[in-house]
Amino acid sequence: TQLLEQSPQFLSIQEGENLTVYCNSSSVFSSLQWYRQEPGEGPVLLVTVVTGGEVKKLKRLTFQFGDARKDSSLHITAAQPGDTGLYLCAGAWGNEKLTFGTGTRLTIIP
Amino acid sequence: GAVVSQHPSRVICKSGTSVKIECRSLDFQATTMFWYRQFPKQSLMLMATSNEGSKATYEQGVEKDKFLINHASLTLSTLTVTSAHPEDSSFYICSARLASLYEQYFGPGTRLTVT
């Protein structure tokens, strides 16, 4: 079973600060996705990365896929209360099922 | 685009009864749909993979006779929880995927409470 460990598990920071969330595995992925989930709702796709070393930016969010395609990071600049939520990474091998990470629960304090 | 709906959003049922949850892809055809279960404050756990026109593939530890999955069309998959018990209470989420893409698009989830 391939495992995806996310760190930190919980993070609470002040509005305006920067933060990084990590997603690590011992397995190589063909693609990795990041999702954000709010309470009582389904996850919403933020980004997909497929190439080792790839960096993608989505406004204040920067996603990076590790060179070896075993890990990924999500960096948020100038966090806002609307960024609060559960952030999940998910890895896939080929066009197969996703394995979800353990999750990072982010709270931005106004 | 890529909208997935689930119905119902919440359901309360008595122990021993069966409950059906529908998952629909509204603006695309999904050759594959997935069913997940999520416990409070935890990540998503894959229950089964559902391919249109064929039997679902269940993950280890998931009882196929208890969680019946039907994927009769390219836009609809159903999950039936049979003879539900309180321990089946959970948040059930489906997702759908286009044949040629990596991404899965998730439904809003169904909160099942078994009393």
Nearest residue, CB atoms, A97 vs list B49, B100, B111? B49
**Residue among A41, A44, A56, A99 with most chain B CBs within 10 A, to mutate:** A41
* B13 phi-psi bin (left φ>0, alpha ψ -120 to 50, beta other): beta
Nearest residue, CB atoms, B106 vs list A42, A95, A101? A42
Give the model's pLDDT for residue A3. 80
Q: How far apart are CA B84 and CA B66, in angstroms?
A: 8
Give the model's pLDDT for residue B1. 61
Which mean pLDDT values do the consecutive 10-residue runs of chain B (115 residues) have? 91 97 91 92 91 89 94 91 96 87 88 97
Can you spell out the DSSP letters for B16-30?
Answer: T--EEEEEEESSS--
From the list B42, B43, B32, B40, the residue with the least C-alpha distance to B94 is B32
Residues of chain A short of pLDDT 70, as ranges, are 1-2, 95
Give the model's pLDDT for residue A86. 96
Identify the residue whose tokens are 């995806």: A4
Give the model's pLDDT for residue B74. 87
Contact across the interface for A45 and B103, Cβ inside 8 Å: yes
Nearest residue, CB atoms, B108 vs list A41, A98, A99? A41
Nearest CA in chain B to A89: B43
Using the Cβ of B28 and the Cβ atoms of chain A, whether some distance falls under 8 Å is answered with no
Give the model's pLDDT for residue B98. 77
Contact across the interface for A42 and B34, Cβ inside 8 Å: no
Using the Cβ of B55 and the Cβ atoms of chain A, whether some distance falls under 8 Å is answered with no
* A60 phi-psi bin (left φ>0, alpha ψ -120 to 50, beta other): alpha
From the list A47, A44, A41, A70, the residue with the least C-alpha distance to A60 is A47
Q: How far apart are CA B96 and CA B63, in angstroms?
A: 21
Q: How far apart are CA B29 and CA A23, in angstroms?
A: 31
**Who contacts A68 (Cβ-Cβ below 8 Å, separation ≥6)?**
A28, A52
Which three-class secondary structure string do you get for A37-105? ECCCCCCEEEEEECCCCCEEEECCEEEEECCCCCEEEEEECCCCHHHCEEEEEEEECCCCCEEECCCEE
- Which positions in chain A touch B45 (Cβ < 8 Å)? 100
Q: How far apart are CA B51 and CA B31, in angstroms?
A: 6
Give the model's pLDDT for residue B27. 86
